[in-house]
Structure 1
Amino acid sequence: MLDPVLLQIAKTAILERFHTFYKIDKEALYKAYPFLEEQGATFVTLKYDHHLRGCIGSLVAHRTLLEDVISNACSAAFQDPRFHPLHERELSNIFVEVSVLSVPQLLEYDDFEDLLQKVVPDIDGLILNHKGQQGTFLPQVWEELKSPKEFLEHLCMKAGLSPIIFEEHPSIYRYRVEAIEDSFDAIEAL
């Protein structure tokens, strides 16, 4: 189970942009929560009234968990190219979710039918990579795309590819996540 401090970090990172009262004391956090110094890959997802409002993350660990959450929270709120930057008046309707990813593993498969059998709905996050084009869906996307076929076809489109790409046997990586979610109503100072 994820430590709720990850949510507090994400929310505080966003709130720092609006108020000087909110500050992240990295040294104090590293001292109180040593696991934050470990390298980690995270996604931060924002939802406004249960609709996607921003989602940015890392697929591979390349910085500390603390730095990754801070960076991805700010990017999801203010730099997701699909949305305008978050405005303070939206906060009362925003839910924040922090997902920590496992290390992606190459999924071996023979053909598309075999791949459909190997994908685990509601659990697997997938990365599709083919000739420099890439897309990913977190396991949370299974809430909207229920079947493996639908999940994989939409993942192709997200990567800018046609579903016929499976004839060329693109690389598919599987990962799992632990996620924690909360609203901005419950804000505690770090």
Structure 2
Amino acid sequence: MLTENGPLLVAHARHAIASRLGVQSAQPADVPALHQPGAAFVTLTHFGRLRGCIGSLTAQRPLGDDIAANAAAAAFHDPRFPPVGASEWPDLQVEVSVLGASEWRICATEADAVAWIRPGVDGVILEYGAHRATFLPQVWESLPEPSQFLTELRRKAGMRLEHWPETMHVGRYQVEKFHDA
């Protein structure tokens, strides 16, 4: 059901950003999928370079609201980047990743985690104490080696790299992704 609505989900994200920029944008159609609970990440690129990425790991609001909020957050509140400007708008690429449910496991070693996650398929969440971070499945394209993938994810979470905690919670999930045509 989401596949047929993919272009609409991207249009919904684009409209949320355009509205904040004061750029004319047609109101996208309203479909039932937007009203169902959903979790999504919105990734923005500008000439192939990451420009913002914000999302939700769990479905806590209607998918349409989640996409709109995360699109605006990716464009204007990603702490890694300055807010998107109107001059970037024409060349801004938008990708919406709708997350499936997460499966969780405690992995006592990095080898346990490597054996459980599926490179190129799974998005991965690492959680230990107050530290938590995720990489979408698309990140496997730039970090294809599982050990390196997990090291960079631990770095993103602010975890110590020299120690793998025995009670590391590892989540995995898949996404349906849609991008500008």
Same fold (TM over 0.5): yes
Q: Verify: 1:15 aligned to 2:18, yes or no.
A: yes
Matches within 5 A, 1:1-190: 1=3, 3=5, 4-19=7-22, 21-22=24-25, 24=27, 29=30, 33-182=31-180
| Identity fraction in percent | 40
Q: 1:89 to 1:108 in 2, by over 3 A?
A: same
User: Any conservation in 1 of the 2:37–2:61 contact (CA below 8 Å)?
Assistant: yes
Native 8 Å contact 2:126 2:170 kept in 1? yes
Deviations 1:84-109 (A, max 9, x none): 00001112221100000011110354
Cα RMSD for the two superposed structures: 1.7
Letter in 2 for 1:106: W
Q: For structure 1, which segment, 33-42 or 102-111, has the greater mean C-alpha deviation from structure 2 after superposition?
A: 102-111
Partners of 1:23 and 1:165 in 2: CA distance: 51
Distance (whole Å) between structure 1 residues aligned to residue 4 and residue 153 of structure 2: 27
Is the 8 Å Cα contact of residues 2 and 178 (structure 1) preserved in structure 2? no
Q: Which amino acid aligns with 2:15?
A: T
| Aligned residues of 1:59 and 1:101 also touching (Cα < 8 A) | yes
8 Å contact kept, 2:108–2:165: no
Instruction: Output the amino acid matched with 1:8.
Output: A
Cα separation, 2, equivalents of 1:161 and 1:20: 41
Asked if 1 retains the 8 angstrom alpha-carbon contact of 2:34 and 2:62, the reply is yes
1:106-141 Cα shifts (integer Å, max 9, x gaps): 035453222212211111101111011101000010
- How far off is 1:36 after superposition? 1.1
Number of residue pairs the alignment of both structures matches: 178
TM-score w.r.t. the length of structure 1 is: 0.87
Change beyond 3 A, Cα 1:84–1:20: closer
Query: Larger % of strand: which?
Result: 2
Separation in 1 of the partners of 2:73 and 2:37? 19
The TM-score with structure 2 as length reference comes to 0.91
